[in-house]
Amino acid sequence: MVEQGKTQKTVAKEKRRYYRKNVEFFKLLDKIKLWPSRSGTLHGIKSMKISGDTAEIITHCNERFLVRNSRNSRSARWLRNKLFFGVCKGCKIPEWKLEKYSSTYLNQYYGKNL
Ligand SMILES: [Zn+2]
């Protein structure tokens, strides 16, 4: 009985930790408002709807992405390493935003874990 209770508690704890991580990643996306697509194009995020561990992102060029989030995912890695091959013309991301992206935000969010 006691052992079982312990196990359940541990599981609940793990889940909570995982969830918080996800929320952080979404918060980061919501803040930088940029999304690298699978092909390496950087899009601007127009709106974002978070439900559980998935987020629906609508870009300025009206593309829709479903993001399953973890900071270890491809997108998180790309954002962290600033890897992208091009900027979406449809999204018209302003220069200052790209500059901001490449400096402040990422250091703020990821500096601790690097
Ligand atoms: Zn776009």
Tens of pLDDT along 34-93? 888 878 888 999 999 988 888 999 999 999 999 876 656 677 777 767 666 688 999 999
Interatomic CA distance for residues 64 and 61, integer angstroms? 9
Range of the domain at 108: 2-113
Which of these, 88, 102, 92, lies nearest to 32 by C-alpha position? 102
pTM above 0.75, yes or no: no
Residue 114 confidence (pLDDT): 43
Distance of CA 38 from the midpoint of ligand 1 (Å): 12
- Give the chain's domain count: 1
pLDDT at 24 over 90: no
Distance of CA 106 from the midpoint of ligand 1 (Å): 21
* Higher pLDDT, residue 106 or 76: 76
Average pLDDT over residues 8-22: 59
